[in-house]
Amino acid sequence: MLTMACLRCIISGRVQGVGFRYSTRLEAIRLKLTGSATNLVDGKVEVIVCGNPDALQIFNSWLWRGSEWAGVTNVECEPVDLAHYNNFQTG
C-alpha cells in the first residue's frame, strides 16, 4: 500500500520575487508531489505539499536551498491532514 502524507511549510527569507514558487513547483513535479505554493503578505511563502514521505523529506531539504536567487533563512513544516491535489500549483 502506498503511504501518503502532507506538510504545511512556511519559508522565510528572500523568497518572493526570486522565482522561489516556480522553482518549488518544478522540484515538486520532479519528485511526483502535489500541492501549492503561495506568497503571504508578510513576505514569506506557504507551501502545502503531499506525497510519498521519502520524497517529502527530499523536498523539505530542497526548501532550505530554494531557487537560485532565493535567500532562505528558515523553514518550518508541520504535518497536516491529507489533501488531494491533481498537480502542484502556484498562487
Catalytic annotation, pick one of 21, 65, 74, 87: 21
Is residue 19 exposed (0-12), middle (13-18) or buried (19+ Cβ within 10 Å)?
middle
CB atoms within 10 A of CB 21: 24
To the query of whether residue 39 is one of the catalytic residues in this protein, the response is yes
To the query of whether residue 21 is one of the catalytic residues in this protein, the response is yes
Catalytic annotation, pick one of 8, 14, 39, 52: 39
Supply the residues annotated as catalytic.
Answer: 21, 39
